[in-house]
Homo-oligomer: A and B are copies of this chain.
Amino acid sequence: EAPPTTGMISPLQMLREFDYGTVKQEQGRRIREFRITAGTGVLQLNSVVSFNTWNFNGRVPGPALRARSGDRVRVIFLNHGGHSHSLHFHGVHRAEMDGVRPVRNGNATIYEFDAEPFGVHLYHCHVAPVSRHISKGLYGLFIIDPLQDRPPADELVLIMAGYDLNNDQHNELYAFNGVPNYYMRYPIPIQQDQLVRLYLLNMIEFDVAATFHLHANLFQVYPTGRTLIPREETDVITMGTAERHILEFQYRFPGRYMFHPHQDAIAEAGCMGAFQVVS
């Protein structure tokens, strides 16, 4: 059985896809240029529910932007989303580049700043009500690699989010990487004994926090990706909205292993997935 057509990029594609932008030299400085377009699109959440997303580059979540510490980052933002939107980045930058000013539909703007500090950051629309703009789909990861690369690993992106289908500020469905239960139907293949580096973000609005639990294993935690050595080992970690961490682990035995928030009602409403460990 093939993954369902969603009319948008599937979770399968976005799992290991990073957008490194385009690198140019200007006045002896390395510029990393990204292009983000806000738009709309219908995402099929399950066989009966379709959702009118607001999205970046035709996908929910948006692209996982990736730069090197110290790069000059330039983001060319076009708003074709039908409403005012913006790009607010986490990380360090000038007030003018903070992306809290709405960009009207049909307009464009450029955000430019130095990529710092290394770690796992995020970006999202910051137009009010932010909870609505985010939960409609306007968010993505922004990874800044340290000057010295982390050790080789199978690097994955997982973003937890919720869907408020009836605008009552409660989520009826949840997902990893946009589509509820996708990785339950299509478990993520990983190699036995292979180091997995997970860039994990909790982007669920309306529930104040969620945990991430990995079955039959423990993971090393690099909080906000701001360390090069792990700070904690566990199998359940609590993450408030917009928290994000690097988690590292490897599976010693082949087979199928679930992952999900241990708020089991959230898991059972779609925020559930599995790894298929192959030998």
Chain A residues close to B by CB (< 8 Å)? 88, 90-98, 100, 117, 121, 128-131, 134, 169, 205-211, 213, 215-218, 223-224, 226, 231-244, 252-258, 261-268, 277
Contacts and interface: CB of A to CB of B under 8 A. Distances in A.
A235 to B, nearest CB: 6
Nearest to A213: B242
A59 to B, nearest CB: 21
Contacts of A277: 95
13 contacts: A93-B216, A94-B216, A95-B277, A96-B255, A98-B216, A121-B235, A129-B268, A131-B263, A134-B264, A205-B263, A224-B235, A236-B244, A237-B240
Contacts of A96: 255
Contact of A257 (B95, B169, B241, B267): B95
Contacts of A266: 208
A169 B117 CA distance: 40
A206 B130 CA distance: 22
The listed residue with most B CB atoms (<10 A of its CB), out of A92, A206, A254, is A92
Contact of A131 (B231, B235, B265): B265
A277 B96 CA distance: 12
Given A95-B253, A95-B255, A208-B263, 17 more contacts: A91-B235, A93-B253, A95-B216, A95-B254, A95-B257, A98-B255, A98-B257, A129-B268, A131-B263, A131-B264, A131-B268, A169-B265, A205-B263, A207-B208, A208-B208, A208-B209, A234-B243
Contacts of A255: 94-96, 98
A102 to B, nearest CB: 14
A-B pairs, top 10 by smallest CB distance, nearest first, are A95-B255, A238-B240, A242-B262, A211-B240, A131-B264, A130-B264, A224-B234, A94-B253, A131-B265, A236-B242
Contacts of A117: 218, 233
B253 A238 contact: no
A180 to B, nearest CB: 15
A238 B233 contact: no
A239 B238 contact: yes
Contacts of A206: 263, 265
Contact of A205 (B128, B253, B256, B264): B264
A215 B98 contact: yes
